[in-house]
Amino acid sequence: MLWVSLVNNLLSFFYCFVVKIITLQMIELRKIGAWVIYACFTLVMIGCSGSNASSDDEVEQETEQPDPVDNTPTADYPLSDQTNIGKWVLNTDLSDEFEGTALDETKWLIQGRNGEYKSNFRGRPPSQFSTDNVRLEDGKLKLETRWDPDYNFSPTTHPNTGETYENITTAAVITKKEFLYGYMEVKCKAADAEVTSSFWATGNNTEFDFFEMFGDHRQSNKAWRDRELWWSIHDWTSAGQGRTTYTEHHDLGYRVADDFHVYGFEWDANGLKIFIDGELFRYASKATINAYDDVANSNGGNGANENFVVTKPIALWFDQETFPWHGVPDSKADLELNSPADKKDDGIVDFEIEYLRVWQKS
């Protein structure tokens, strides 16, 4: 009986031991499983949280990006007054974008067309205006200076000076309408040769030269004039006899024949403001102009009369001329010296005007 009791006790102990082991194992397995589940859940939450954060960052980043700003100047107003503080209104009778295939001759007189010469001006010898030297191309007005020795010059000499017209033809165009006071804006590039590229005006016995640019000076003492803005006022009354009443010469800091620039001129009863590429460059008041006196050197002044004679309507000109005191091309090669390699044989250099815009006060 003792032996049987011992065996039963051993079996009971063994059974309890095995059950304990199994129970412990199951507990550990549950713990491990729980940890595994917890780890997986944590990883999923981290992933979701990271994804949401990334999306939020992207949304936030997209929200922070400003809309693109269009800095293209509007053609509605002067480059120097894009918000139209001056209350400018475009004068469409005078303004031209030169977008057609031929110059609008309801707006413009091509000097010499049908024998009509405004101010009886046929060009400065030795050059003479030709109606053939005007074209529209690439949205620009192009006035041509040509080496043209076979041209039928008429007359062959200047009626007043006796100087000979020969070898070179140029061009001039003039607005058919006149106006009094306003803002003129021209985008252009001068011809790169020994000729002028000019924007000026005449009317009521006055002359207003806004610029007379000379694209290529060969004389060593005038090299800086490739960068020059020269403007003047002239009195063509019987008393004034065409004398210069006021003039200024300015170094622009760049060659006028190298690239296009925007030249603005605000003209009113109080004087003239000049703008270069939208920035105020020079202001000459009526008082400043009238105080100028260099009659002794034939370089400005009008005696007892006012210098500021541009107080009546004017018509606008673009033209090219030869200025013999600065030098004159003496051959086609000389005229074409600075032309691109593929254009050296056509005997033509261009004064290019992208637009003329004229505004007046509303």
For residue 95, name the pLDDT band (cuts at 50, 70, 90).
Answer: very high
Predicted confidence (pLDDT) at residue 57 exceeds the cutoff of 80: no
Give DSSP secondary structure letters for 49-81.
HHHHHHHHHHHHHHHHSPPPP--PPPTTS-TT-
CATH value at residue 319? 2.60.120.200
pLDDT tens digits, residue range 167-186?
A: 999 999 999 999 999 999 99
Residue 37 has a pLDDT of: 41
Which of 64, 88, 354 lies closest to 199 in space, CA to CA? Answer: 354
Which of 176, 231, 239, 183 lies closest to 209 in space, CA to CA? Answer: 231
In a domain, 80, yes or no: no
Q: What is the mean pLDDT of the chain?
A: 87
Q: Tell whether the torsion through CA atoms of 151, 157, 161 and 163 is positive or negative.
A: positive
What is the span of the domain harbouring residue 35? Answer: 1-66
- Say whether pTM exceeds 0.85: no
Same domain, 56 and 164: no
DSSP state of 163: P
Predicted confidence (pLDDT) at residue 58 exceeds the cutoff of 80: no
- Give the Cα separation of 119 and 107 in Å (integer): 18
Amino acid at 279: E
Mean pLDDT along residues 230-237:
97
pLDDT tens digits, residue range 277-326?
A: 999 999 999 999 999 988 777 778 888 899 999 999 999 999 999 999 99
Same domain, 19 and 97: no
Same domain, 307 and 207: yes
Q: Give the tokens for residue 312.
A: 């009546």
Residue 119 · residue 144 · CB < 8 Å: no
More confident residue, 2 or 330: 330
CA-CA distances (angstroms) from residue 308 to 119, 201, 233, 265?
21, 14, 7, 15
Residue 16 has a pLDDT of: 43
- Give the Cα separation of 175 and 192 in Å (integer): 25
Residue 138 has a pLDDT of: 97
In a domain, 287, yes or no: yes
Same domain, 280 and 352: yes
Q: Reduce the DSSP state of residue 222 to 3 states and report it.
A: helix
CA-CA distances (angstroms) from residue 144 to 81, 163, 247?
32, 22, 27
